[in-house]
Structure 1
Amino acid sequence: MNKSLKRLILFCGTAAMSMSALSAMQVSSNDISHGDFMAKAHEFNGFGCTGEDKSPQLSWSGAPEGTKAFAIMAYDPDAPTGSGWWHWQLVNIPLDVTSLPTDAGNPSGKNAPEGSLQIENDYGVAGFGGACPPQGDGAHRYQFTVHALSKKLDLNQSASGALVGYMVNAHTLDSATIESLYKR
């Protein structure tokens, strides 16, 4: 293979990777950072935890064409349950919403986007339930994933975490995750 052809292949591959990176969804937050520990404001208030139970501010961009709604899933894969722990499942966020304020997951629903639906978390509350790893269990990972959905989901507030996860994954066009840590 001649030098010019090798350069063209390398250029095309690099350009394709760059274009892919530009079109991929991204998520950010003013309250949490990827790989860093969350503040006590995001700790649950109950089960021996004494936090403020506030969901973090989240912003996202780069949703692909065909997106009809968004979903946010907050999950602790390190919970000692055998199946992790769902802290927040917010679905059917309108297409024109690309940012949520701190405490958007308040169970009162007053801070959630109009038309969205908060599903019962593993605490049994329809809204955000903060971090509350067992005392001395070490750092747990808290994954906040924003999903671009191909359609609004037909779910109700008491749908199981498994059903919501199935529906979200079945209709995800793209997603982005920010993972923070917490320990007590």
Structure 2
Amino acid sequence: MTNDPYWKLPATTAFTLMSPDFVDGGDLPFWAHGAATRGKDQSPALEWSGAPEATESFVLTVFDPDAPSGSGFWHWTLIDIPGRDVSLARGAGTNDSLLPVTASRRRNEYGSDVFLGAAPPAGHGPHRYFYTLSALDVPVLEVAPEVTPAIVGLRLRQHIIGRAHLIGIAETSTDGTAVFRGGQS
């Protein structure tokens, strides 16, 4: 069975999440890879449409279920994106001036709150990076700044009214550089 990180979550209204920087199921751009693979740790631009009308806020997570940790790897968590918003700018994962005023970051696996680019272990094969945008029925998700992404997931569960996914692929060669199956971005 392919590791599907959402198989136990309740069904909800689907809407559309896309990026001008990569296609669903395609390679992540070079600059969206981690510094460990000579990338830039820059978050891609994201756009969405079709969220439920009752949406008051969004939560964005970026997760690699293929990490050889037994529990995956969280790259970014962003909460309290206003329900009226329909996009995030490229680089918002590390540049506060590009975030909506009410949005705030939460921890990644390294304990910082910035976007960590894709950096699968060298020679481990392709990894999937799930960009998931959850539409919530509350304007603010009440979670402390130091909570883990798993706690954010537990807290948002009771408020989810819609969910959108976009999957990017990344791989690291045995020499430690990013691998691109298609054209390099």
Q: TM-score, normalization: structure 2?
A: 0.82
**Residue among 31, 36, 52 paired with 1:41:** 31
| Structure 1 residues 97-116: aligned runs within 5 Å | 97-106=85-94, 108-116=95-103
Residue 183, structure 1, aligned to residue 168, structure 2: no
Residue 142, structure 1, aligned to residue 132, structure 2: no
Letter in 2 for 1:167: R
What fraction of aligned residue pairs are identical, expressed as a percent?
36
**Residue among 19, 22, 26 paired with 1:32:** 22
After TM superposition, give the deviation of residue 144 of structure 1 in Å: 0.3
Q: Which protein has the bigger helix share?
A: 1
Structure of larger gyration radius? 1
Letter in 2 for 1:25: F
For 1:76 and 1:55, the matched residues in 2 are separated by 14
For 1:110 and 1:131, the matched residues in 2 are separated by 23
After TM superposition, give the deviation of residue 99 of structure 1 in Å: 0.3
Residues 62-89 of structure 1 deviation map (CA, whole Å, 9 limit, x = unaligned): 1113211011111000001111011111
After TM superposition, give the deviation of residue 135 of structure 1 in Å: 0.4
Structure 2 residue ranges without an equivalent (≥5): 1-12, 173-185
After TM superposition, give the deviation of residue 157 of structure 1 in Å: 2.1
For 2:73 and 2:96, the matched residues in 1 are separated by 21
CA contact (8 A) 1:76 1:84 kept: yes
CA contact (8 A) 1:77 1:142 kept: yes
For 1:135 and 1:43, the matched residues in 2 are separated by 13
> What secondary structure does 1:110 align onto?
helix
After TM superposition, give the deviation of residue 162 of structure 1 in Å: 1.2
**Residue among 109, 126, 137 paired with 2:113:** 126
Structure 1 residue ranges without an equivalent (≥5): 1-22
After TM superposition, give the deviation of residue 24 of structure 1 in Å: 3.9
User: 1:13 — aligned with what?
Assistant: none
After TM superposition, give the deviation of residue 51 of structure 1 in Å: 0.9
Letter in 2 for 1:53: D
Residues 39-66 of structure 1 deviation map (CA, whole Å, 9 limit, x = unaligned): 2100112xx3321101111001111132
For 1:112 and 1:156, the matched residues in 2 are separated by 19
Q: Could you say what the CA RMSD is over the residues aligned between the two structures, in angstroms?
A: 1.3
Higher relative CO (CA 8 A, sep ≥ 6), structure 1 or 2? Answer: 2
